[in-house]
Amino acid sequence: MVADDQPHILEAVELLLGPHGIDVDCVRSPRLLLEALGQADYDVILIDLNYTRDTTSGQEGLDLLARIQEFDARLPVIVMTAWGNIGLAVESIKRGARDFIQKPWENERLLSLIRVHAELRQVLRRARQLELENRLLRAEGMPEFIAAAPSMQPVLELIAQVGPSDANVLITGEHGTGKEIVARLLHAASPRAKMSLVAVNAGGLPEGTFESEIFGHVKGAFTDARTDRIGRFELANGGTLFLDEIANVPLRQQAKLLRVLETGELERVGSSQTRRVDVRILSATNALLHEEAAAGNFREDLLFRINTVEIHLPALRERREDIPLLATHFLNRNRARYRKQVTGFTPAAMQLMMQYSWPGNVRELEHTVERAVLLCRGQEVEPANLAISTARSGAASLDNMSENMSIDEVESLLIKKVLRRCEGNISQAAEALGLSRAALYRRIEKYGI
């Protein structure tokens, strides 16, 4: 961006920089420059120090420099004036300018200054983006995926088939079944593996900050927007964006997600500048999205966009063959973590784990084994260390009661029990049951609970 009140100066800068592949925007006043800063990103700002006829003090330019510093202190500014002197040059540098050039300039010197500061700006911008990416990534490296059970073979085949593609994938399954691990495997198997996998709990973002978190914002877009912020889509540009709990995204925000998925274009909050992003979308939910769409709680067109391929993860009770392998894996990891001399499980402990229903799935098994290793005093984990016998008895009791009941009666009874345990908290009950809040509300109404 170049700001000068003389048209021939603006034209000269464009003629100099254009053939070198440098895009130039021109304005003739400080006011127009400040307006433009909120609409586009610039690598270098080149400003005159005098704008009003017959002024030579440079104060207008110094005031403009201060305003640019308030907007973005990292934005490199080169100042220029036809009335150059050492004192004014020193003052502009003190106030934050990166360099100073006198009119008429030497073309090679001006071109060199702009290239150096533009390259530095781009390097620093990328460094900040990488820092943000590292904060957002939930884990580094390839996850271990234990899946020997026959019911997991279709999952492995789908990962192998669609992983190397750019297809959007919807990963479904109950809470704790390992949906994020599948997302990380899909990303690692794709041509985007060298780029970022950015994970976000889309349903956990407050509606008031959803757009800022997902699309980013510019400084001044709202009260607390003190600096520009990169959104998750831009952080994932060239890589993969994992949208967890997508069923819980409010309808109004679903429309905005759909637009980005359809066009690859977005605007940061408070900006009218359109940005293009190249992102593969992986989504996850424990809800039945087709039912949610039929009930009007989820946009059908958005469902089509995120659901090019669906991978459904079976619950742990449907893949019991994996329980010994998973339990041993978690035991070995926590044995090293807590420096315990635990070598394995007693036969009774393993039998107890094989018979338990694991409503919290792999995540519950992981936490159970971690606690057992921590509490174990011998070389093998005992049933008492697992602390799941009471829960198992409760499950067995429910099984006995349900023998002569209809499916609706069993479901109604289960919902009542979970609601009592959660003291009426709908969100907690829905999570425990593996349902969305909307699906649980429909069942509560259906059964008159």
Complete DSSP assignment for 409-428: HHHHHHHHHHHHHTTT-HHH
Q: What fold, for 318-393?
A: Helicase, Ruva Protein; domain 3 (1.10.8)
CB-based contacts of 96, cutoff 8 Å, min separation 6: 65, 66, 68, 69, 73, 77
Q: What is the pLDDT of residue 111?
A: 92
0.85 exceeded by the pTM? no
pLDDT < 70 regions, the chain: 53-54, 83-86, 125-143, 221, 223, 389-407
Domain boundaries, the chain: 2-131, 150-312, 318-393, 405-447
Task: Let me know how long the chain is.
Answer: 449
User: For residues 224 and 227, what is the distance between their CA atoms, to the nearest angstrom?
Assistant: 9
pLDDT value of residue 401: 47
- CATH code reported for the domain at 405-447: 1.10.10.60
pLDDT for 197-224, tens place per residue?
Answer: 999 988 778 777 788 888 888 887 676 7
CATH 3.40.50.2300 fits domain 2-131 = yes
CA trace torsion 9, 14, 15, 16 (10° rounding): 90
Query: Cα separation of 195 and 18, whole Å?
Result: 32
Q: Which two tokens stand for residue 281?
A: 């979308």
Query: Is 3.40.630.30 the CATH number for 150-312?
Result: no
The answer to whether the 150-312 and 405-447 domains have the same CATH topology is no
What does the pLDDT read at residue 134?
46
